[in-house]
Structure 1
């Protein structure tokens, strides 16, 4: 048998537009098998079928209105003055949530982290902070101080001045707004003891600090809409985290429990092709843009559900390390044979082994989910299913 000349392949798979109530597992299986037939490729064991979280949530009908958010915020935080701290600056991710939050309060004290939000959207540059002699770790700025020091700051990609935009949203929702800038969560307690912390990946620490400092009521975004309100959707584990704007008055929540969904696809593919594939649901990839400094991951996790074969991290040897060190005197077929033998004999756990340095010690779901997110894009490609083949191959396969 001739040697295979291609390694990993990532394909976007087209499928029909998904609506609430569709049997998504059947649609995914049919779409992948039809693509394989039309493009003349075969499925193989350990291929990965990945489905974007947005169509999973859509099929589940997992939506909530701003009124439902308002009701939940009012019930959990008292409906008077609420500190809304560390939100990310995003029209798609947070603006609609903020509308609902403000509808559930009389006054919102909006405390923004600076110079940027948690995922890297900049309010002001570090250089400007240095020029102004401001220490972001200790200094709390009022809106007046912020404006006199830094003026208006429009986001380089969206052209939006988020300070003004978020203030406007709160006022239009019928609440009073006060904006402050600080990075120490305790600073909000000078304004109110009822706090909604809107950070994503640092939320557990923020809640702990606030409670220890004397806050009375503390919720994270994961505590709002974590149960249905008047028949709405919800997310038991993540609440409002991972939600996206659907309309001006509704959000699409992160998918609810979808482990059964990935197992269903895996089982159907096994029945129809005899191949054991892995399946995952993916949202944002986990990578950072070196120019805009924005970290992509605004979802609470890259993958909310996946089959067991995607557990863990890669266990790989660095080919160039072996070529430059262990086998530096070999070349050609002898070098190839020596490296192949080393790969075939590699230990099950290479942690601490110098020959694995420089390989990526990230979770498989984070790596493959990032590949899928980049393949599907965030716009109009129309490929919410990604088929990844050869990901688990190595030099010897």
Structure 2
């Protein structure tokens, strides 16, 4: 989830609660805006617009439960098919290298990129810096699986393709935020009929530009090799997390020439609820994947066992598959202590921040436990490496999507990426 995630809307409201702290000029401007808001014309317009709100057709609970089952079956079938192709590729590569004298075990490298909003600049920088690591550490691999949530979803396709040019481009994107990435709706931002407090014309433009026909075709080509690119979203209608196989969707987009679903899914996964517009896809309404899971790692133990069994079916007689998880957290592991004021705005903002952080730590501990179970059962071996922004790092300037902060994070990420000791294999 973007840094500040759900609380962005709360902070927007908080501007109306700081009147005394404003300069005379700003107090006058706010008073003028409030006077306009409270005028009969403005109130009449607000009521009219409220009545014109677009209402979605309401599905019955039974219909939604059927939809849930269909989507779950479709997702499981797609995963098994994609992992079957992936494992076959790993098997063939292993046998070819073994014939050349290599003693390395068959390996599946998985990259997991968390949410974090503008702090995604850290992850972009880290991935670029990692490319400089040689045999003194673990060189940056060509990942078999890449998953991303929220800002991590925007970074994930670049990491999936993995060329130096791709890594340079995502660094350039996160080092140069534009003013129109997020734009307030104006005086009537607060109307319940609005989809969100803000619009994201600049972010939509960046997504369309970055993921044009050529890059989507490259993603589709990698999908044909069995590699997986997955982003997490939150399905508001179903009430839970819904991962999408973006590599598979890129293949559809390349075939049909219509990239709109690919773009919408990236915007949905990074769509701060309430602050950014939700996205309607395949009759469902989707927002930020960080609402339900800030990292996407496949935490279903039964399904994981099934995938491990699948390796034995596809590669009988070969050594156990080595699975290496690399987790990039676009935030610090621990919260920064601070005095919280006794206002509902401050309490909600701090509470949401702590809730997201706590759920992320729980997910990381679960991933470490799953790796331990896999190693005990012996049909695969698993390694988990985690990197995060140091707890003592502080932004140089206040605010979100500030160029100075994002460039500082990108530089920090590059420095840590070049240092093999940045990885940690356990949590405190």
Say which one has the larger Rg: 1
- For normalisation by structure 1, the TM-score amounts to 0.23
- For normalisation by structure 2, the TM-score amounts to 0.22
